[in-house]
């Protein structure tokens, strides 16, 4: 069976940067110390488990909202790290008040979105965020809107928005579908021709979405998407692959592969979300080559 791997699959640069920050802090060159991440650093449980053995500990919760307890005796040899998805200003203030060294591993692309929201909110703009209101990135971004933020996922949400009397700014969560964002943007321009619109879907997300189409064009009869169940960009890839009418399989590790299912295909495409480590992708491809 032919295994076609997408050109863009696995860690994006923002995720890799966050992991390197945490690992470097855990080693610190001269001493080992515990690195506490506020919620999962990235959305991949296998990678977080591997990092746990390196001294990186996940504390708090998925949404970066719960209180964090750190033993007073452990503070001297510890550091708290902000997750790649970013956090709200209030959460940042809280973490800095814990009395531990503080390091920000927010993806710079997410930081740019937060900056645009903050600057426009200060100018009195109402802010529309295209994204999942339950995703931690959106939770963090809303904190920069100064109470003027509104989250939408579809046209119904857009139609349900209040009528804005002042200026309007629109951004997107970094991992959303580009074509869905464009449709919403077109509708916003119909209502608010002077709206300030920013394309904040990150390049890595666009590359991975384009990569799914490339797999189809290269003859993939089925598509495997590797990544965490909570990974927004991975779930988007699954939805996109399904939209092309191809049998699609969302797995987290090679252990979930069913050789009997894939033996019916002559060519299988493989892609992975931006939080999926290379060792998992390689294991899946190896397993498929042996079918």
CA dist., res. 167 & res. 177, Å (int): 25
Distance CA(74)–CA(101), nearest Å, equals 12
Sheet holding 2-5, edge to edge: 2-5, 267-272, 222-226, 248-251
Other beta carbons within 10 Å of 125? 22
Q: How far apart are CA 128 and CA 148, in angstroms?
A: 9
Give the residue numbers marked as catalytic.
137
Question: Is the CB of residue 270 less than 8 Å from the CB of residue 211?
Answer: no
Rg of the chain over all Cα atoms, to the nearest angstrom = 21
């Amino acid at each position: 069976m032919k295994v076609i791997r997408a050109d863009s699959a696995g860690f994006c640069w923002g995720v890799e940067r966050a992991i390197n920050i945490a690992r470097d802090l855990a080693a610190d060159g001269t001493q080992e110390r515990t690195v506490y991440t506020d919620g999962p650093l990235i959305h991949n449980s296998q990678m977080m488990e591997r990092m746990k053995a390196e001294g990186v500990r996940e504390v708090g919760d998925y949404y970066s909202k719960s209180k964090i307890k750190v033993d007073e005796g452990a503070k001297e040899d510890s550091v708290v790290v902000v997750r790649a998805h970013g956090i709200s200003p209030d959460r940042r203030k809280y973490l800095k008040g814990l009395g531990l060294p503080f390091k920000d591993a927010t993806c710079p692309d997410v930081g740019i979105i937060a900056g645009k929201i903050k600057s426009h909110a200060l100018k009195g703009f109402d802010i529309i965020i295209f994204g999942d209101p339950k995703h931690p990135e959106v939770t963090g971004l809303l904190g920069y809107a100064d109470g003027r933020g509104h989250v939408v996922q579809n046209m119904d949400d857009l139609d349900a928005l209040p009528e804005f009397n002042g200026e309007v700014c629109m951004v997107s969560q970094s991992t959303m579908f580009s074509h869905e964002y464009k449709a919403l943007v077109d509708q916003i321009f119909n209502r608010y021709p002077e709206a300030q619109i920013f394309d904040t879907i990150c390049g890595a997300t666009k590359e991975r979405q384009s990569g799914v189409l490339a797999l189809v064009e290269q003859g993939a009869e089925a598509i495997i998407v590797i990544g965490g169940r909570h990974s927004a960009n991975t779930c988007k890839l699954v939805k996109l692959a399904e939209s092309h009418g191809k049998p699609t399989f969302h797995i987290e590790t090679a252990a979930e592969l069913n050789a009997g299912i894939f033996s019916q295909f002559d060519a299988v495409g493989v892609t992975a979300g931006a939080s999926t480590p290379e060792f998992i992708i390689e294991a899946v491809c190896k397993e498929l080559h042996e079918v």
